[in-house]
């Protein structure tokens, strides 16, 4: 193929590719795509970040604390403490200090955590029990009591009124000089009951009460059935943000919603797992090193020591420790009587004196040696010399048979 032909073919391909590119560019349309990366890390770490920012935008002074250690230095007057943290580890002394702080002019707001136990007569929530407030499941409310308190006509009026309300399933708060109530998205599964009738303000849904306010000394206490309405995902719904501002208005706000702290071990596992593994290996190697035998190993006994006499002596020592002196001496006497029965039939039917005479005749030993060997054994333990002497007499008599 000549150079001219190659040039023409290349030019034709380039021209075709150019036309194809122009066609594709003419058909392409620009568009925008939004990629959701989820909440920012600070939002994930702080469930009430939106609530903090909202209060600051309303001109309120807001601070966040991690524990009740700040209570002694926290002024009561002109201060609202939003206690939204878990209170399972709260002590009786801490609960008393919180109520004392509120009685001096502070506004304490907290969430009811436990249900009322009819059998125990308490809920276990130190703050609720101290204020006489009880929390129930809405499904457990006695419908018969509600029917006794209202007449049939009042029930019909209430039903018609609920149908007329735009949000009958929400919690409603009526304010003075306001025609329409404020609406909040409380969880309707829980109900707050003021057993001592101390509350002066409350907010109800169709089936339960979710907010109670009562005076305590010179201060104010607000009790909520839940605080989820102020978390980042819910604070913009309904009038949830407005309620937060309403409860903290004209005061400085202190937020406490994370009182628990990570333990040292959990922090080390999270940030230094390799160091913990290395430390565990080091401890294991140290214990293995300390467990090694110090000094030379003891050599096994030579075969020359394994003699029959040594085994017999060891067996005798074992029997002496296990059975005692009387058992060994009695066994020798029985062995002598058994041999005498074989050499003198009817030996067992003879009296003791006659048996001793037969043994003296069979062994040709004097009667004194026979009586010394076959006499009854004493109850007390024999001395070592007496025991050895008695064994020698019995062995001499047995060997003579």
Record the tokens describing residue 275, joined without a space: 């160091």
In sign, the C-alpha dihedral spanning 41, 43, 49, 50 is positive
Residue 261 pLDDT > 70, yes or no?
A: no
With cut-offs at 50, 70 and 90, classify the pLDDT of residue 85. Answer: confident
- What is residue 145's predicted lDDT score, i.e. its pLDDT? 53
Question: Rounded to whole angstroms, how far apart are CA atoms 18 and 385?
Answer: 127
**CA dist list (Å): 232 to 62, 69, 346:** 17, 26, 111
Which distant-in-sequence residues (6+ apart) come within 8 Å of 317 by Cβ? Answer: none
Evaluate whether 194 touches 222 at the Cβ level (below 8 Å): no
- What is residue 294's predicted lDDT score, i.e. its pLDDT? 65
Rounded mean pLDDT of the chain?
A: 80
Query: What is the DSSP pairing of strand 190-194 with strand 219-224?
Result: unpaired
Question: Rounded to whole angstroms, how far apart are CA atoms 124 and 109?
Answer: 18
**71: phi then psi, degrees, rounded to nearest 5:** -60, -45
DSSP 8-state assignment for residue 57: H
- What is residue 325's predicted lDDT score, i.e. its pLDDT? 73
SS3 at position 283: helix
> Per-residue pLDDT tens for 310-368?
777 777 777 777 777 777 777 787 888 888 888 888 877 888 788 778 878 888 788 77
Query: What is the DSSP pairing of strand 252-256 with strand 62-64?
Result: parallel
Record the tokens describing residue 170, joined without a space: 């929400």
Question: Rounded to whole angstroms, how far apart are CA atoms 184 and 136?
Answer: 19
Question: Rounded to whole angstroms, how far apart are CA atoms 391 and 388?
Answer: 5
Q: pTM here?
A: 0.55
Bridge partners, residue 211, by sequence: 203, 224
- What is residue 156's predicted lDDT score, i.e. its pLDDT? 47
User: Is the pLDDT higher at 26 or at 126?
Assistant: 126
Bridge partners, residue 122, by sequence: 117
- What is residue 283's predicted lDDT score, i.e. its pLDDT? 92
In sign, the C-alpha dihedral spanning 268, 43, 246, 253 is positive
The full DSSP string for 155-216 is HHHHHHHHHHSS-TTSEEE--TT-SS-EEE---TTEEEEETT--EEEEEE-SS-EEEEEEEE
> Per-residue pLDDT tens for 146-169?
454 444 444 445 445 544 555 667
Question: Rounded to whole angstroms, how far apart are CA atoms 251 and 109?
Answer: 13
Record the tokens describing residue 311, joined without a space: 């085994």
Task: Give every strand in the sheet of 107-111, ordered side by side.
Answer: 62-64, 252-256, 79-83, 107-111, 219-224, 209-216, 199-204, 171-173, 182-184
- What is residue 30's predicted lDDT score, i.e. its pLDDT? 80
**109: phi then psi, degrees, rounded to nearest 5:** -120, 125
Greatest mean pLDDT among 37-41, 61-65, 268-272 = 61-65
Bridge partners, residue 133, by sequence: 194
Closest-CA residue to 210 (of 199, 226, 233, 221): 226
Angle at 205 between CA 204 and CA 211, to 5 degrees: 35
In sign, the C-alpha dihedral spanning 101, 104, 106, 112 is positive
> Per-residue pLDDT tens for 3-24?
777 777 788 888 888 888 888 7
Residue 293 pLDDT > 70, yes or no?
A: no
Question: Rounded to whole angstroms, how far apart are CA atoms 332 and 24?
Answer: 121
Question: Rounded to whole angstroms, how far apart are CA atoms 148 and 125?
Answer: 30
Share of the chain above pLDDT 90, in %: 6
Residue 259 pLDDT > 60, yes or no?
A: no
């Amino acid at each position: 193929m000549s150079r001219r032909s190659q040039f023409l073919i290349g030019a034709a391909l380039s021209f075709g590719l150019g036309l194809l590119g122009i066609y594709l560019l003419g058909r392409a349309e620009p568009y925008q795509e939004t990629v959701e990366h989820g909440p920012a890390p600070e939002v994930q770490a702080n469930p009430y970040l939106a609530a903090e920012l909202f209060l600051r935008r309303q001109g309120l002074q807001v601070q966040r604390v991690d524990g009740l250690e700040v209570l002694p230095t926290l002024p009561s007057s002109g201060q609202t403490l939003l206690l939204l943290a878990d209170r399972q580890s709260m002590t009786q002394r801490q609960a008393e200090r919180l109520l004392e702080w509120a009685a001096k002019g502070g506004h304490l707001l907290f969430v009811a955590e436990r249900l009322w136990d009819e059998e125990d007569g308490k809920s276990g929530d130190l703050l609720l029990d101290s204020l006489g407030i009880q929390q129930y499941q809405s499904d457990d409310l006695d419908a018969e009591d509600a029917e006794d308190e209202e007449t049939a006509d009042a029930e019909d009026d209430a039903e018609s009124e609920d149908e007329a309300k735009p949000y009958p399933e929400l919690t409603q708060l009526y304010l003075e000089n306001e025609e329409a109530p404020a609406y909040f998205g409380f969880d309707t599964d829980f109900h707050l009951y003021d057993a001592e009738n101390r509350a002066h303000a409350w907010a109800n849904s169709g089936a339960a009460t979710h907010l109670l306010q009562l005076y305590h000394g010179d201060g104010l206490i607000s009790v909520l059935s839940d605080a989820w309405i102020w978390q980042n995902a819910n604070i913009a719904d309904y009038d949830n943000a407005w309620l937060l501002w309403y409860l903290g208005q004209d005061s400085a706000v202190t937020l406490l919603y994370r009182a628990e702290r990570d333990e040292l071990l959990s922090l080390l596992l999270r940030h230094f797992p390799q160091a913990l593994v290395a430390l565990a290996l080091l401890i294991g190697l140290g214990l293995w090193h300390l467990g090694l035998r110090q000094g030379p190993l003891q050599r096994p006994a030579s075969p020359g020591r394994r003699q029959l006499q040594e085994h017999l002596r060891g067996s005798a020592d074992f029997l002496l420790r296990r059975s005692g002196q009387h058992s060994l001496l009695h066994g020798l006497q029985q062995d002598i009587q058994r041999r005498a029965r074989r050499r003198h039939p009817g030996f067992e039917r003879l009296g003791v004196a006659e048996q001793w005479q037969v043994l003296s005749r069979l062994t040709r030993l004097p009667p004194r040696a026979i009586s010394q060997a076959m006499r009854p054994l004493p109850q007390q333990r024999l001395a070592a010399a007496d025991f050895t002497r008695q064994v020698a007499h019995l062995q001499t008599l047995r060997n003579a048979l």
